[in-house]
A and B are shown apart, each in its own frame.
Chain A
Amino acid sequence: MDKLVIADKEFNSRLLVGTGKFASCEIMAEALEKSGTEIVTVALRRVDIENKNDDMLRTIDVKKYLLLPNTSGARDADEAVRLSKLARAATGINWVKLEVTPDPYYLLPDPVETLEAAKILIKEGFVVLPYINADPVLAKKLEDVGTSTVMPLASPIGSNQGLKTREALEIIIEQANVPVVVDAGLGLPSHAADAMEMGADAVLVNTAIATAGEPGRMAAAFKLAVEAGRTAYIAGAAVAGKRASASSPLTGFLRNNKEK
């Protein structure tokens, strides 16, 4: 498959995977393996970033995966920036998945604080991948300040509802000059394939894999779906119509028409 490029780094997989909600680190490790992912996001709140023996961190092979810390739980720009800096100081990783979610229920991203945090972090030398609502103007503003992707949500995080923001995602994809990673709300492999067919550069999946009956098998299904969707996008989809059509009902007569 063609490569995904984020901030000059190349990836063969277009499926990013989150590490929350798994029943054990072993099950998580198996799911990561079967997903074929190369980018794994970890909530800084969940791990002891300074402790190399942290259960979760120990399970993630950093030679195989790019570890992408996220600021999940941050309520404003200050908190997200502080957390990112601590993570960088502890690990040397300067990539961050920026999440600013002041509402603890739907965990919807705060556009104002996210843009503010992105500006500061980019000035501080971070590679910033911001989680946002599917807001095309915000996506352009973030791109303008130098984020390396935009990560609009398909539906509220963990909701498994699929592409509820389709119309706005289409605009974001059309306008973006950075990779668009559809993040949050993808509940089924078909949702992921759908996003990839639309032209998303990648997707991020967590809940749908972690809480599946068999996370490893579901991770493999998402891998196939992402590949299928990407391949279909490149192949150029046939245009869908509402009814079957003869090959040229309006102009067919021209072929037989003996012009006089």
Chain B
Amino acid sequence: MNSVKTILAQKGLDGDGEFWQGRFNQINGRDVERALRSPAGIYSLEKLLALVSPAAEDYLEEMAQAARQLTIQRFGRTIRLYAPLYLSNYCVNSCLYCGFNKDNKSERRRLTIEQAVEEANIIASEGFRDILLVSSEDRKFISIDYLCELAGRLRSKFSSISIEVYQMSTAEYAKLFDAGIEGVTLYQETYNRRAYSYYHPSGPKSDYDNRLDTAGRIAAAGMREIGLGALLGLKDWRLETLALGEHAHYLIKRYWQSHVSFSFPRLRPAENVDSSKFSLLPDKNLVQMIIALRLCFADAGLVLSTRERAELREHLIEVGVTKMSAGSKTSPGGYSQPKSAIEQFEIDDTRSPAQVVEMIKANGFDAVWKDWDSAFVERK
């Protein structure tokens, strides 16, 4: 089987995609209808192409109905809840879109293990059993050993612990898995090589190929859940979605025991980041992207953060989202001391977890706090 790097290169999905731009414009209503009639939830690049095409914008309601039906069949009327815990905003990278950029002179903060546990206790007291540990990249501050030790301390309170930190080796992921971490979220940010180099001018993260290979290393280490995503607003979302589809399809075929989920991080205003430089994705196309991925991947987790506003999150429950954060704080120490340090991005849905649960219930869904058990894997 070809590597994901080869697959993307052969299909022209790691560049500006002139070929695909032409194809997008050729897609007509009949193609979209054909994609909608094909077996629900089964992936092909042609099908995804039709569903994210401009022509499909006229079929959003039909697509949404099909996505809703498929999601309810596969996941039931449930929404899983999780909370992010930001550990540190010290960073050695200089990603142009990120508030934690090393060149950003704002105050930095890193939580000690004790402080992180204290934050986690607040999260647990709100009802969460699923926690995502988030950190920017600086191994001096947030080391593999730090993450292992913290996971050990959190295991009794949380049934699922996952991470969204810097990229690692297979052996390092395996060590974290043994320590009780079962999922990793790692966005490619953009699948366009040139844009990737532009937005990631320095630091370990600037290596496109290494970034691209990381999801395979995560799976090879035995992680149960791999979260993929492209930062929406950097490059053409239609092309990014095709690349995401190919990446997921590759992982599912190659690493058949790991479950793939997608996140939809839309660029949001952040401190010291000039958002006028980015092309922000309209709601309509965000919805189209979510629905299109559901119709191609029946069982993929679709994750939505509090970057999005409350009203939109409420609507998206109905069309395929399966997992949401709630009451999030995106600065280290933010749960115990609001506004304690710079945030990675601004939160839009500022409702409390209890309010989000009420909203989920009011829409006829069950808010699920626990859908995993740390007892599955024997920990060292």
Contacts and interface: CB of A to CB of B under 8 A. Distances in A.
- A and B part of one assembly: yes
Interface of A: 20-25, 44-48, 73-75, 78-79, 82-83, 86, 102-105, 158-160, 207, 210-211
B373 interface: yes
Contacts of A24: 361, 366
B33 interface: no
Contact of B376 (A47, A74, A103): A74
Given A21-B77, A23-B366, A73 B372 contact: yes
A105 B76 contact: no
Contacts, number: 77
Contacts of A46: 368, 370-371
Contact of B377 (A79, A86, A159): A79
Interface of A is mostly: loop
Contacts of A47: 370
A75 B370 contact: no
Contacts of A207: 73, 76
Contacts of A159: 73
Contacts of A79: 376-377
A21 B75 contact: yes
B241 interface: no
Nearest to A44: B373
Given A23-B364, A104-B258, A83 B375 contact: yes
Nearest to B301: A104
A210 B77 contact: yes
A88 to B, nearest CB: 12
Given A23-B364, A104-B258, A104-B299, A45 B73 contact: no
Interface in B58-76: 72-76
Number of chain B interface residues as a range: 20 to 34
A75 B257 CA distance: 8
A75 B258 CA distance: 10
Contact of A82 (B159, B371, B375): B375
Nearest to B69: A211
Contacts of B159: 45, 48
A158 B256 contact: no
A83 B374 CA distance: 10
Contacts of B368: 46
Given A23-B77, A104-B258, A211-B76, A73 B373 contact: yes
Contacts of B75: 21
Contacts of A83: 373, 375-376
A30 to B, nearest CB: 14
B376 A105 contact: no
Nearest to B378: A82
Most buried by A among B224, B299, B365: B299
Contacts of A211: 72-73, 76-77
Report the 4 A-B pairs with minimum CB-CB distance, sorted nearest first: A21-B76, A23-B77, A104-B259, A105-B299
B312 interface: no
B77 A22 contact: yes
Contacts of B378: 78, 82
Contact of B370 (A23, A48, A102, A158): A48
Contact of A45 (B361, B364, B373): B373
B104 interface: no
A103 B299 CA distance: 11
Contacts of A74: 376
